[in-house]
């Protein structure tokens, strides 16, 4: 093979090889806590970051390692770190970047759990979020101060399905001299490559489309290898001598994958949100069919959105794949293969109608998740975004009348039939 492997090939083979001892072709689940050292010198070299290898499963594991290589390859990154959840991935990213009193800028159109994490939990560390409008890249620039350490958005916003102008927001981050972090959970690298649009760090809730089967929790951090951590001196964890490793400067030692290393050997080491080997295995298995699933997700979602647009009880549909949608041009630029599986629509009956609808479906599952092979439904204002302040619900894409669908890979006629019977009772 002379050319670089394409997406489908990487999704199956990247990072993996037959087990050298047993010949097992599928990546084994290495269900162990610790690993035998060759000798004292070998152990010392591992602990001092002078050699790569396994020490303890809280920090690394061979099954986890294959998952990390695969996601890094799919995203075009230099390295990755798999952890216990998407929230854990976000926490470790900011733990590596931030000091007390620092600020970061985030689009207000985010998953409700991220809004809570940024706006509430991060206060305990004195990490301060400043909100911008994901529809207006200039609003990010207006929030930049000398304390700004990062800019964050989702490539496709959950739940609203808003497509972010990543290139424009990346330009703001570059001018400010801070890393641009993109949550690519909703799009996956099949639909969007944030690195191609200026991202320096990518995060995933691998629980969703990467795993795809609703059976495991995981998160992934991807280091794109594009940010100069030494230039400003603002990022002490990477640019200053580290007392944990005999004064080693991680950015000098590890170069374009130093951020992933720092997240592992500082944040993951001390905070400990390790991914279980079984979950790493399940996410790996899901990724093998990512392209096939995303193709069907997009095809079905477009069909369902088109049908809902014409329904008399539906007030509006926001799906970027619809030609008349205001985000359609951005979708063609950022996610040219499709607009994804998740979108929102509003019922003319408002809040009460949304609650009735989610109770009337049969094929759809009423769960707080997206990215499953199964079709999923939720009323965000009463569930996922119920802890978001009321005055922020509409800005987050979760107003009282909003219903969110995560359209699965079932037969689209069956998906539409279930919505039809449920809407009949609203």
- Domain borders along the chain are 7-286, 291-424
In residues, how long is the chain?
426
pLDDT digits (tens, 9 = 90+) for 55-105: 999 999 999 999 999 999 999 999 999 999 999 999 999 999 999 999 999
pLDDT cut 90: percent of the chain above it: 88
Query: Rounded to the nearest 10 degrees, what angle do helices 412-424 and 290-309 cross at?
Result: 40
- Which residues, in sequence order, are bridge partners of residue 130? 105
Asked whether residue 2 carries a pLDDT value surpassing 60, the answer given is: no
* pLDDT mean over 151-165: 92
The DSSP 8-state label assigned to residue 186 in this structure reads T
The DSSP 8-state label assigned to residue 214 in this structure reads S
pLDDT digits (tens, 9 = 90+) for 38-50: 999 999 999 999 9
Angle at CA 131, nearest 5°, toward 129 and 134? 135
Using the structure block, give the residue that is written with the tokens 């470790």: 92
Backbone angles phi, psi at 240, to 5 degrees: -110, 155
Token pair, residue 265, equals 């050997």
Using the structure block, give the residue that is written with the tokens 């990518």: 202
Among the listed residues 245, 237, 239, the one whose alpha carbon sits nearest the alpha carbon of residue 263: 237
Mode of pairing for the β-strands spanning 128-132 and 103-107: parallel
237 in Cβ contact with 266 (< 8 Å)? yes
Query: Would 7-286 and 291-424 be classified into the same CATH topology?
Result: no
Token pair, residue 176, equals 């400010």
Q: Which CATH number applies to 291-424: 3.90.1150.10, 3.20.19.10, 3.40.50.1820, 3.40.640.10?
A: 3.90.1150.10
pTM of the entire predicted model: 0.95
Distances (CA, A) of 147 to 99, 130, 176, 370: 10, 11, 10, 35
pLDDT of 63 reads 98
Q: Is 177 left (phi over 0), alpha (psi -120 to 50) or beta?
A: left
Distance between CA 229 and CA 246 in Å, rounded? Answer: 19
380 in Cβ contact with 355 (< 8 Å)? no
Using the structure block, give the residue that is written with the tokens 């809407």: 423
Backbone angles phi, psi at 403, to 5 degrees: -120, 135
Domain 7-286 sits in CATH at 3.40.640.10
Among the listed residues 126, 162, 128, the one whose alpha carbon sits nearest the alpha carbon of residue 319: 162
Which one has a higher pLDDT value, 161 or 13? Answer: 13
């Amino acid at each position: 093979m002379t050319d670089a492997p394409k997406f489908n090939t990487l999704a199956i083979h990247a990072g993996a090889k037959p087990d050298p001892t047993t010949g097992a072709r599928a990546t084994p689940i290495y269900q162990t806590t610790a690993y035998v050292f060759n000798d004292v010198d070998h152990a010392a070299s591992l602990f001092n970051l002078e050699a790569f290898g396994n020490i303890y499963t809280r920090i690394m594991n061979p099954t986890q390692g294959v998952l990390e290589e695969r996601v890094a390859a799919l995203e075009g990154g230099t390295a990755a770190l798999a952890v216990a959840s998407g929230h854990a991935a976000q926490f470790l990213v900011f733990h590596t970047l931030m000091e007390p009193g620092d600020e970061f800028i985030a689009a207000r159109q985010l998953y409700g759990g991220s809004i809570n994490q940024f706006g509430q939990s991060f206060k305990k560390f004195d990490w301060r979020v400043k909100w911008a409008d994901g529809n207006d890249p200039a609003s990010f620039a207006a929030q930049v101060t000398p304390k700004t350490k990062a800019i964050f958005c989702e490539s496709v916003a959950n739940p609203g399905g808003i497509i972010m102008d990543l290139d424009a927001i990346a330009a703001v981050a570059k001018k400010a001299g801070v890393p641009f972090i993109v949550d690519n959970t909703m799009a996956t690298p099949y639909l969007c490559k944030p690195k191609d649009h200026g991202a320096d760090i990518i995060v995933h809730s691998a629980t969703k489309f990467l795993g795809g089967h609703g059976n495991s929790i995981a998160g992934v951090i991807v280091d794109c290898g594009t940010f100069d951590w030494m230039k400003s001196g603002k990022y002490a964890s990477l640019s200053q001598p580290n007392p944990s490793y005999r004064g080693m400067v991680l950015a000098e030692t590890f170069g374009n994958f130093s951020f992933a290393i720092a997240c592992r050997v500082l944040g993951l080491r001390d905070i400990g949100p390790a991914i279980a080997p079984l979950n790493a295995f399940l996410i790996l298995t899901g990724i093998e069919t990512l392209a096939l699933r995303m193709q069907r997700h997009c095809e079905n979602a477009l069909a369902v959105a088109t049908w809902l647009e014409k329904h008399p009880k539906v007030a509006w549909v926001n799906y970027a794949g619809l030609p008349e949608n205001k985000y359609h041009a951005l979708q063609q630029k950022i996610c040219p293969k499709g607009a994804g599986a998740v979108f929102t629509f509003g019922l003319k009956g408002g809040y009460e109608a949304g609650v009735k609808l989610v109770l009337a479906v049969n094929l759809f599952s009423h769960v707080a998740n997206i990215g499953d092979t199964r079709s999923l439904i939720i009323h965000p204002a009463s569930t996922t975004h119920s802890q978001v302040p009321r005055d922020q619900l509409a800005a987050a894409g979760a107003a009282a009348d909003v219903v969110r669908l995560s359209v699965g890979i079932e037969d689209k006629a069956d998906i539409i039939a279930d919505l039809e019977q449920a809407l009949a009772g609203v």
